[in-house]
Amino acid sequence: MRRDIEFKTEDGITLRGWLYPAQGVTGPAPTVVMAHGFSAVKEMYLDDFAAHFAANGLACLVYDHRNLGASDGTPRGHIDPQGQISGYRDAITFAGSLVEVDAGRIGIWGSSYSGGHVLVVAAIDRRVKCVVSQVPLVAGLENARRLIRADHWVGLRGNFDADRQARYAGDPPGRIPVTAPEGEPCALPTADTWAFFQGYRAQHPVTTWVNEVTVHSIELFTEYEPGAYIPRISPTPLLMVVARDDHLTPADMTTAAYETAHEPKQVLILPCGHFDAYTGAMFEMSAPVQTAWFKRWL
């Protein structure tokens, strides 16, 4: 039975989430630290992954990033990859303090934007003994160029500059929807992004997810290059889960980045799009492989 947890970051922000005890384990257990992707909150199917891992003997610590969901932090909806990376490392520290957790057997899991974060954390924090990166962002600028029309870049850069000047003058940060109907400005301009978030909100009318992020979050996205850390992950074992038909974090970019990793490594390619990886048949295909990877190395 999961329980609510909260912990402080090094800079004093309270992050909140759940701890799933490992089932069938006596004493401190191998543990997976998990968080969601760009703007998403833990209720968006991370509970399914955590419950599956826990049922197979892995404790799970699942939390919301700062400025999102149940966690504290302002500006709300501001997504700073470096702050979220630091949050993962604080979560590892907190997990290691719990009696249910074997501090020497901690793995990390991330998906989409946080799939990029775990690549960075695994490369720089040797407390991490195993990593699963699902449909990850690997190259922010190139990914943004795939999503944003070339003739829109000048205007986008102008918006970044104007927002920076406004914030310097003391104004609140500019904001933009995470997703919107086709043709309307938003952070993630793909039809399946709109379908995923709207579909979730229709099924879960009470949610902490908010369809809005800061403009600065988009600027930081374009400057973020987690794939550069992949060659440094070894000897920490890496499992990368790729969605073959992904056009939000394109599969060709992800598989090319995977080739730069050293052993031990494994890739799982799912016959689906980006958001299909969280649910249904693709979850049933992927979750056991991910569980086996964690159990093998933790």
Average per-residue pLDDT for the chain: 97
Contact present, 186 and 176 (Cβ < 8 Å): yes
Phi, psi at 30, each rounded to 5°: -60, 145
**pLDDT tens by residue, 176-191:** 999 999 989 999 999 9
| Confidence (pLDDT) at 113 | 98
**pLDDT tens by residue, 229-269:** 999 999 999 999 999 999 999 999 999 999 999 999 999 99
| Confidence (pLDDT) at 149 | 87
| Sign of torsion over alpha carbons 82, 84, 88, 93 | positive
| Confidence (pLDDT) at 142 | 97
**pLDDT tens by residue, 288-298:** 999 999 999 99
Stated pTM of the model: 0.97
**pLDDT tens by residue, 114-172:** 999 999 999 999 999 999 999 999 999 999 999 998 998 999 999 999 999 999 999 99
Q: Name every residue whose Cβ is closer than 8 Å to that of residue 293 and which is 6 or more positions away in sequence.
A: 130, 132, 237, 239, 266
Residue pointed to by tokens 């979220």 = 84
On the question of pLDDT at 1 being above 90, the answer is no
The percentage of residues in the chain with a pLDDT greater than 90, rounded to a whole number, is 97
Phi-psi region of 171 (alpha: psi -120 to 50; beta: other; left: phi over 0): beta
**pLDDT tens by residue, 144-158:** 999 998 998 999 999
List, in order of start, the domains of the chain with CATH numbers.
3-140+225-297 (3.40.50.1820)
| Confidence (pLDDT) at 269 | 98
